Amino acid sequence: MEHFLIDHVSNDHLLTITGQTIIHYNYNQQLSIDTNHSQNDRTIITETLRGIKRKSSTSSDDMQQQHHSSFHHLHHPHTQQQSSHPPPPHPHHHQYDTLPMQQQTTTNVVTLHPSATILLSGPLAGSNSSQQQQQTQSNLANYYVAQQQQHYVTNYHHTNGNNQYSTTASPTPPTQQHYQANTDKTTTAKDRHKRVRCKQCEPCCRDDCSECVHCKDMPKFGGVGKMKQCCLTKQCIAPILPSTASCQVCSKKKGSRKLSQLKPEEILYECERCMEIHHLPCFHTAHPDSSTSEGVFSDDIPETWLCPKCITANTPEPPLYKLRPIVRRTLVTTNKGKNGLIELPYSDPSQQQQQQQMNVNHHLLQQQQQPQHHSLAQPLPISHSELHHLHHGHLDLHHLYATGGGNSNPNVNLGGLLPNHNDLHCDLYTDPYEAMENEAKKRCLYATMYAPNGNGDSSGTTGDPSSSINGGSSNNGLVGLDDLSTSLNDSDLYVPQMFAV
């Protein structure tokens, strides 16, 4: 079947079909859409929207096994060396339980297109909720969570105005007030310049398409240069801290060295919540109390974590757009009147089926699939690594397409603005995902040295063997996000907001 038609309404009571193209559902809950296209063939879209992981690895573990986390969670690093307990081969592949959130329900809108593209608008800023979606069926390659904010609250984190990256160390743990209090309008863009393009990811390595609105605005393409934005096809998926970023404890700047050239203790981490930037040693020096909790590292976004302070304080999630302005801009600039919904290219389900099988135990295979150098014009299936990023809400223009374009490939277009990139090559490009994964591993290894509470167990949950796929995280000092609950009180519910970007 050429197109994946949603012609069956889920019996999920949380899911309400409002007409053929709109679904309202509570994203906090698990969403299941059963669609039968063709005859009895049943293609099931099971979208597990992760809520807060609580205790109890449930029996659904195997089902969740192939899912991914964008975070590492550090856990009881009493074994600083992991030699005796080798880390899991893919520590960021964690399993999750879908947990009903404690908050009030939130309604999202899912737009189902006849072309099998599923559009999701995620929770809005300040919804105080998180979501993580999981894909258990190949069809989900065709969906994407778009998160959109209506309002932008400036100055999410206080800065001292002198050093845009040296935030004033706040003696008090971040709280809701902490964030609201920092939303004064006195500071401007300069206070939020914290990310620059990595220049290594695949989009970064592309050439300007010369056809998108941003390119057309560029003087080199005959434009007047008013917009001053990068090419829509080149949106970085792994923005990094600029060289001028500095640790707010020691004030030392990151410098111009590449991340790979930095020693672990030299790597700066920006907290997703409080936006503070620290070296790990500096953090633990400055926040010995908070150190009783572990940080959670992003596997996907370089130099990003959730600091123990924010975890301990159960700091409310800041709006996503706060964290990744690039994403916000991307959402805005790429959604042609679609209310922030982003369309993914359609992939033939049968093809995906094949691909899915190829991807069984796929992570290893992923390295053979060489997702790089793929063409925009190539239809799905998208690679596993790409799924990984979609899964975590990365705004990869590779997968962002506006409707109605005149692109030669009906499945792939960005309002017809994206050129064919078949001929694009990037010698510099190495699989950023793999690289980031490796980085994440290193970070975790390193961070365990700093996470206090060696055998600690302040969480009182270490006892949980967490027998899960993480491979005995209790032994290697690392814990998957699914194990996060084991180190948090129920009141410390936490779910990392997906990074878009």
Binding site for DNA (CB under 7 A): 148, 150, 152, 154-156, 164-165, 185, 188-197, 199, 208, 213, 217-220, 226-231, 234-236, 239, 242-245, 256, 322, 324-326, 328-329, 332-340
Q: What angle do CA 329, 332, 336 make, to 5 degrees?
A: 150
Q: Which is nearer to DNA, 218 or 387 (CB)?
A: 218
Min dist CB 203 to DNA, Å, is: 10
Q: Which of 264, 232, 244 is nearest to 331 (CA)?
A: 232
Q: Which is nearer to DNA, 213 or 426 (CB)?
A: 213
Min dist CB 207 to DNA, Å, is: 10
Q: Which is nearer to DNA, 138 or 413 (CB)?
A: 413
Cα separation, 67 vs 136, in Å, equals 8
Min dist CB 400 to DNA, Å, is: 12
At 424, list the tokens. 């694009």
Q: Which is nearer to DNA, 303 or 483 (CB)?
A: 303
Residue in this structure with the two tokens 């959402």, named with its chain if needed:
331
Min dist CB 444 to DNA, Å, is: 25
Cα 185 to its chain centre, rounded Å, is 28
Min dist CB 321 to DNA, Å, is: 7
The phi and psi torsions of 118 (rounded to 5 degrees) equal -105, 125
Min dist CB 429 to DNA, Å, is: 15
Min dist CB 252 to DNA, Å, is: 14
Question: Which phi-psi region, left, alpha or beta, contains residue 380 (left: φ > 0; alpha: ψ -120 to 50)?
Answer: beta
Quickly list DSSP for 191-240: GG---B--S-SHHHHSPP-S-SHHHHHSGGGT----S----GGG--SS-B
Q: 154, 81 in Cβ contact below 8 A?
A: no
Cα separation, 24 vs 387, in Å, equals 24
Min dist CB 159 to DNA, Å, is: 10
Q: 313, 175 in Cβ contact below 8 A?
A: yes
Q: Where are the alpha helices (DSSP H) in 124-194?
A: 176-181
Q: Which is nearer to DNA, 116 or 204 (CB)?
A: 204
Min dist CB 299 to DNA, Å, is: 20
Determine the straight-line distance between the first and last CA of the chain, rounded to whole angstroms.
32
Cα separation, 494 vs 501, in Å, equals 20
Min dist CB 337 to DNA, Å, is: 5
At 296, list the tokens. 């959670």
Q: Three-state SS for 403?
A: coil
Q: Which is nearer to DNA, 112 or 141 (CB)?
A: 112
Q: Which is nearer to DNA, 294 or 303 (CB)?
A: 303
Q: Which is nearer to DNA, 60 or 150 (CB)?
A: 150
- 73, with CB counted inside 10 A (0-12, 13-18, 19+), is buried
Q: Which is nearer to DNA, 199 or 442 (CB)?
A: 199
Q: Which is nearer to DNA, 85 or 193 (CB)?
A: 193
Cα separation, 47 vs 115, in Å, equals 18
Min dist CB 231 to DNA, Å, is: 6
Min dist CB 175 to DNA, Å, is: 20
Q: Which is nearer to DNA, 80 or 183 (CB)?
A: 183
Task: Order across the sheet with 296-298: list the strands.
Answer: 277-279, 268-271, 304-306, 296-298, 71-74, 478-479
Q: 170, 194 in Cβ contact below 8 A?
A: no
Q: Which is nearer to DNA, 306 or 380 (CB)?
A: 306
Q: Which of 444, 496, 434 is nearest to 470 (CA)?
A: 444
Cα separation, 27 vs 100, in Å, equals 9
